C-alpha cells in the first residue's frame, strides 16, 4: 500500500505496568506522546491489557505499530523488530502473560474478518524482570525506550507521517499511573510485599 494511502495509523502500547518490564510498551507510547507532535491521522493508544476491546481500533487502521515487552529468549534489553505476518506468531510464541494471548486473538480476529491492518510492525524489547508486582521498568529496559521510539519515527517517516518535537494528545492512562508518578510513588520494599503476602507465600525452606 503506497504511503499516501495510509489515512489511519495506529501506534499501540500494550502490557501491564504493574509487573515491572511488562509495562515497556505502555511506557513507550507515553514517552512518544510527551516528546513528539504527530500528524492528525496518527493515533496514539495505551492498549494496556484490554484484549478484544482493541479490535475496533485495529479495524480502522491502515498501518499498526505495536510496542511491547516480548520474550524472545535474548539478552535483557534487546530490541527486536518483527513485521507483517510474523507479528502474531511472535506475540504468541512464548507468552509471558494473558495480555499477549489477548492481543494475538485481536489480530487473529481482525484477520478473519478481513480488517487487519495491511502493515504491521512489532517493536519488542526483551524484559529483564517480570516477577515484581508494583515494580517499574528495570534500567536496561527503560534505556531502550528512546531507541524503540526512534524505530517507530523512522517507520512513520517512510509512511509519509513526519513527526516534530512537541507533544501529542494520546489516549493514555490516568496521570496517577504514568511512569514518573508510579515509580517515584512506590513504597519501600519493607513496606509493600513485591511478590505476594509472606503469610501465604513463605520463603522456600
3 lies in some domain: no
Residue 171 reports pLDDT greater than 80 = yes
**In a domain? residue 14:** yes
Q: Tell whether 157 is covered by a domain.
A: yes
Phi and psi (nearest 5°) for 78? -70, 130
Q: Which residue has the higher pLDDT, 181 or 68?
A: 68
In a domain, residue 1? The reply is: no
Q: Report CA Rg, the chain.
A: 17
- Asked if the structure places residue 2 within a domain, the reply is no
Strands ordered across the beta sheet of 9-14: 42-48, 9-14, 63-69, 119-125, 79-83
41 marked among binding-site residues: no
Question: What is this structure's pTM?
Answer: 0.83
Domain that holds residue 99: 9-200
Give SS3 for 54.
Answer: helix
**H or E segment at 15?**
none
Counted domains in the chain? 1
Q: Is 26 a member of any domain?
A: yes
pLDDT of residue 43: 95
pLDDT tens, residue by residue, 46-69? 988 787 888 999 999 999 999 999
**Gap between the Cα atoms of 139 and 188, Å rounded:** 18
Q: Is residue 205 part of a domain?
A: no
DSSP code, position 58: H
What does the pLDDT look like over 102-156, one tens digit per residue? 788 888 888 888 888 999 999 999 999 888 877 889 999 999 999 999 999 999 9
Position with higher pLDDT, 35 vs 187: 35
CB burial of residue 97 (10 Å; 0-12, 13-18, 19+):
middle
Residue 68 marked ligand-binding: yes
Return the CATH number at 118.
Answer: 3.40.50.1450
Q: Which three cell numbers stand for residue 128?
A: 529483564
**Cell triple for 169:** 494528545
For residue 37, tell me if it sits in a domain. Answer: yes
Amino acid at each position: 500500500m503506497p504511503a499516501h494511502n495510509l489515512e489511519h495509523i495506529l501506534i499501540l502500547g500494550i502490557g501491564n505496568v504493574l509487573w515491572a518490564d511488562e509495562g515497556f510498551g505502555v511506557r513507550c507510547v507515553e514517552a512518544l506522546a510527551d516528546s513528539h507532535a504527530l500528524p492528525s491521522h496518527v493515533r496514539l493508544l495505551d492498549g494496556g491489557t484490554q484484549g478484544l476491546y482493541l479490535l475496533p481500533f485495529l479495524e480502522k487502521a491502515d498501518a499498526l505499530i505495536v510496542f511491547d515487552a516480548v520474550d524472545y529468549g535474548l539478552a535483557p534489553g534487546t530490541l527486536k523488530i518483527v513485521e507483517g505476518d510474523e507479528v502474531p506468531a511472535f506475540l504468541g510464541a512464548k507468552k509471558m502473560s494473558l495480555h499477549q494471548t489477548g492481543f494475538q486473538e485481536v489480530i487473529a480476529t481482525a484477520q478473519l474478518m478481513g480488517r487487519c491492518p495491511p502493515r504491521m510492525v512489532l517493536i519488542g524489547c526483551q524484559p529483564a524482570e517480570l516477577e515484581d508486582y508494583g515494580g517499574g521498568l528495570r534500567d536496561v529496559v527503560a534505556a531502550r525506550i528512546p531507541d524503540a521510539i526512534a524505530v517507530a519515527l523512522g517507520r512513520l517517516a517512510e509512511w509519509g507521517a513526519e513527526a516534530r518535537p512537541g507533544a501529542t494528545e494520546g489516549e493514555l492512562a490516568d496521570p496517577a499511573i504514568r511512569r514518573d508518578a508510579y515509580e517515584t510513588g512506590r513504597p519501600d520494599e519493607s513496606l509493600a510485599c513485591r511478590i505476594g503476602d509472606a503469610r501465604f507465600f513463605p520463603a522456600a525452606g
